[in-house]
Each structure stands twice: as structure tokens, then as C-alpha cells.
Structure 1
């Protein structure tokens, strides 16, 4: 039973305080994830300083309509973090003007994309039709319970990052061979173990994939290889195994794997392949869901499957 919710309008102040504190905690989690040393409670004061080319304590207080001690406390914390500094006013030497430090300007550059995502996420959460503020709060807090505010912000940041930096997908180059090995070995050790067949293929991509008419694709972001996938010819003519898909740990959640899969499907259709086949494990529920989303259907696993860990086989007709 949510007592505050049950109080109705008379509990409005406490409800608003609870929502505010929740959003501050969740925002702090986002800052922590991206190694941003900042306190969300300092945002209003810092934003005023950022927007003006020199501002006084009194001007901040008047702009935010808060108490002078509250402004002074925020300024002292920003000074301690070395995000601002004080200088004398050119006209009145007794007056101290607050400006951003070099560290403060660098923080602005790093945190602005996060602020943009926070703002957009708040808009998404508060796009509510209601007959009263209490009803609005009821719906808002239910949304927070369904998906944490911090999770929604992080998802928006990730998707925005991919769009801004234009993920590129390139074909195999010899200098990418070590990335092909490293990404897949890390993935296998995280979720399963490295089988002898894995080690052999990953150590010799030219011999087992490229030289046999196969293809390897690499996801490149900011000149860094962050994901890979292969199309390996099978015994059945014009049928390829979609295999060796892996994404670096710090880039998971960006839907890079899905972009690599779409690249393989598009490529298979362009090359008039008959179908794509993949081996997986029902342990990977999210992966199986995505395979089905892209049209793969389950077929029987042969007794001499090349992978011990595989307990599901799927195919997608592309011709």
C-alpha cells in the first residue's frame, strides 16, 4: 500500500518531493555510469553560470528564486570541484563574478549530450493526459516502476550515440583478424567456453571462412572495431552459416548485433543465397527472440552438430 498515494491532494508536497528525490538519484546513476563527476542538485546553479558570461551570487539567487544560503552552498561545492572560479568585477572591485573554469567547460562538453537525453526522457515520461496533478503523478510513478528513469536515459544516450557517430560496417581485412579472434573469445568465455572447433576457426579466418568463399563483417565505431559476424559456407550449396557474432562488452546494448545481422541478411539477398542457418543455445533467450524477430525459424539440430553448446538450429530463406 502506497500511503502517500492514498493521501490524495493533501499529500501533494510529499509526493513531489519523493518524485524529485527519485529523479535525482536516478540521474546520479547515469552520471556515475559515464564517469561524470557531477551532482544533479548542482545543475540549476551550474546551468545559470554556463549560460552567462560572468554572473554574481545575487543574480543566481534572483534567477532561480531560491535562498541566498542555498546559492552560496551550491557555489562552494562547485568551487571545491574546481568547475568555476571567482574574479573581480571590472567596475566594482568589491563584487565577485562567477565564471566557468577550464575544467567546467570540459565538463559542459562531456555532459551536454547526457543533459539532452535526460530532457528528452523526461518529455517522454511526462507526456501524460490527466485531469489533475495527483492523477498525473500516479501515472508518472507507475511509469518509473515499469522502467527505471536511469535505464530509459541510458538507452536514449546509447541510441543517440550510434546515430551521431554513424556506425560503419566493413568487410574483412587482414588487420582486423585479431579483433575477430578477441571479440569472439571474450564472448565465448563470458557465456560458454571455447571449444576446439572455435579456436581453430577463430585463429584461421582466412582458411576456414574467406578462402572458402565466406565473408566476415566488422562494425566500426570511431575507428574502433566493436563487433563482428561471419557468413561461412556450408556443405549444402548456396547455404551459409551466420556465425561468430560478437560485440565488445562496453558496446553491448547499442543494437550493434542487430545491425550486423541486418547486414548479413541484406548481403545474402543481394548475392542470391538460398538461405542462412545459425546454431545457438536456448540459454540465450534474448538472442533467440531477436533471431525470430528477423524471420529465422527453428529446424531440427543434426546429431553431428559442430558445436557442443548448441541445442537449437534456425534458418532463414533469403531467395
Structure 2
């Protein structure tokens, strides 16, 4: 499932999909048995049945919905003949929601259906139903203790205040060379045999032949990588560039690209080229801005099945003018 692959980023979307699934199932049961309410009405109607006439604010707080959502639903229930609005006898300045006789009659018929819903949830989900309810309770309490929007904003401030560092290869970083490239290769294409060899043994296939590997770090997190592969004396390939999708937009790709170009110049290289794919338009745009120019034909001895773009660096100045090990901001993929 696509949303599950997004992890915490899609938590709200997955919960909504699950909520819609439960609402739809209960509505199907209600309709099949001739119930006169909809599943989404139940929290408001049940609360008013249990506590008596209440203001919209009180209902919203009790069922965990916004004032606006409850007010809109109340308007719908008034039109359906399930609620009426009346002045609060204790405070004439506010109105309260009250069940109608039609609503009380409809709710009175639902006892066996609600029992069936409870049993059906248990039959379908088994022990997962209890674990889900416990997890929901724990999440609700955690959110009361620390609102999630405030936590997200604080984390974003921390991310944006942390500079991107470019560092050279170290054995402890080897796994990130594979991880970061596998991420985009598996999403857009596949990991080819040559990729497997280079990514699993970068010392042998990149460093020993005279190449270099760079990593982008954000604090303690390794968020990007690229390699400068020496094809022959003075001829280098920019390759294996990938930035963790979670950290796109911080300029890590361009910082890596600038570092590779700076290293190519330091070595007094004569030719710097890359192979890529026309699907990766943001990356191609970044390469062009850095001084790479599209070639009319593919390189005759291309290593990659996926490559349909061949670009050569024509010497435009690097954007940041910084070298590996410096800090700054500044995206992303070469084959």
C-alpha cells in the first residue's frame, strides 16, 4: 500500500482512510437493516441522548471535533428533523442542541445494531481491535500533553537552522552510499547489476581507481551522496547521486554537485560527464544550472540500461564556491 510506505508522513491520511472504511461499513449495515440515521451522526446524537441538551462547544469538546464541524453537522441534523436549536434556559444568550422525538425514536431502535457492530468489529479484527483502541487512547493522551503542530514546527525550525555539511567518504558511511542510491533507483527504475557492484563495494569500484565519494550531512543524519568516478586519466563521471526524499529542498543535491565539480577542478580534470534519465527533470535542471550541457546522442559505451541522457560539463562556475567540508545550503540524481 502506497500510504504505508510513507510512514509517519501519511499518518493523517491513513487514519482518515481507516475512519472512512469504518463509517462506510456501519452505514452499509444501517441501510441494510433500515436504520434511520447515518454513522457520522452517531457521536452527536449519542452524546445528546446521554447528557441532554448541550451547546455546540460542549459537544465539540466531548467528541473531539472542531466547533465548525459540529455546527455544520448540527445544521444538517436540524434539516433532517433529528435536532432542534433552542435557547438555553440557564443563559438566554446562547442556544443549545436538543434531540427531537424523531431522533429518540430512531436511536431507540439501534440497540441490537450497536451490539452487532461491537461483535462484528471483534469478529473481524480480533485482538487487534483492543490494541487499536488502546493505541488510540495513548495517542489522544500524548496529543493532549504536547500538541503535534507545535512539535512539528519546532522540528522544522531545528532542521532549517542546521547547516548541510559535505564530507568525504569514510568506512562508517558506506551503508549510506547504498541506502541513498537504492532509494531513488527502486522508486524510478531498478538496481542494475553494475549498481549492485558499485554500491556494495565503493572502495574497489570508485576510490581505488582514483575516484571520490561525498556525503551530505544534516547534523548526525546522512541525507545525500554522490561519486566522482575516474573513467580514464583526466576523464571523470559524476555518478551515484541521491538525496533522501525526506530532505529535498535543503539544497543538499546542489552542495554535493558543487563539491564534485570542485574536486574535478582540483585534480585538473579534462572532461566531466554524467548519464541520467529524462524522467528526472528536477535533477536535469540542476545539472544544467551547474554548467552541464545536454549532448545530441547517448554515450556509445553507456553502462546503464536506464540512461537516455548524456551531459558534459562545460565549465560554468559552481554556485556556492565552497569545497568539501564547508557548510551551507544549496538537489539530486545522476546514474
> What is the TM-score of this pair, normalised by structure 2?
0.50
Is 2:218 aligned against 1:178? no
Task: Indicate whether 1:224 and 2:221 are aligned.
Answer: yes
Secondary structure, in 3 states, of the residue corresponding to 2:146?
A: helix
**CA pair 72-282 structure 1, distance change in 2 beyond 3 A:** same
Separation in 1 of the partners of 2:210 and 2:191?
A: 25
Q: Distance in 2 between matches of 1:272 and 1:172?
A: 21
Query: Partner of 1:251 in structure 2?
Result: 247
Instruction: Compute the RMSD of aligned alpha carbons.
Output: 3.4
- Which structure is larger by alpha-carbon Rg, 1 or 2? 2
**Aligned counterpart for 1:308 among listed residues 292, 300, 305:** 305
Contact 1:36 1:111 in 2 (8 A): no
The question of 1:168 aligning with 2:165 is answered: yes
Evaluate the alpha carbon distance shift between residue 174 and residue 284 of structure 1 in structure 2; reply closer, same or farther with a 3 A threshold: same
Q: Contact 2:292–2:311 (CA<8 Å) still a contact in 1?
A: yes
Partner residue in 1 for 2:288: 292
Aligned pair count reads 195
Deviation at 1:73, TM superposition (A): 5.8
| Native 8 Å contact 2:239 2:274 kept in 1 | yes
- Secondary structure of the equivalent of 2:298? coil
Sort the Cα spacing of 1:102 and 1:282 in 2 relative to 1 into closer, same or farther, 3 A: closer
Where does 1:29-48 land on structure 2 (aligned, <5 Å)? 33=9
| 2: CA distance, partners of 1:104 / 1:111 | 15
Extract unaligned runs of 5+ from structure 2: 1-7, 14-53, 67-140, 317-335
Partner residue in 1 for 2:195: 198
Deviation at 1:182, TM superposition (A): 2.1
In the alignment, structure 1 residue 106 sits paired with structure 2 residue 146:
yes
Checking the alignment, whether the CA contact within 8 Å between 1:239 and 1:276 is kept in structure 2 is yes
CA shift, 1:272, in A, is 3.2
Structure 1 spans left out of the alignment, 5+ residues? 1-31, 38-67, 81-100, 115-156
Helix, strand or coil at the partner of 1:310: coil
Matched ranges for 1:128-143 at <5 A: none
What SS is found at the alignment partner of 1:217?
strand
CA contact (8 A) 2:293 2:314 kept: no
1:286 CA displacement: 2.0
| Structure-2 change in CA distance of 1:74 and 1:189 (3 Å) | same
Matches within 5 A, 1:87-98: none
Q: Give the alignment's TM-score, normalised by structure 1.
A: 0.52
CA contact (8 A) 1:219 1:256 kept: yes
Contact 2:226 2:239 in 1 (8 A): yes
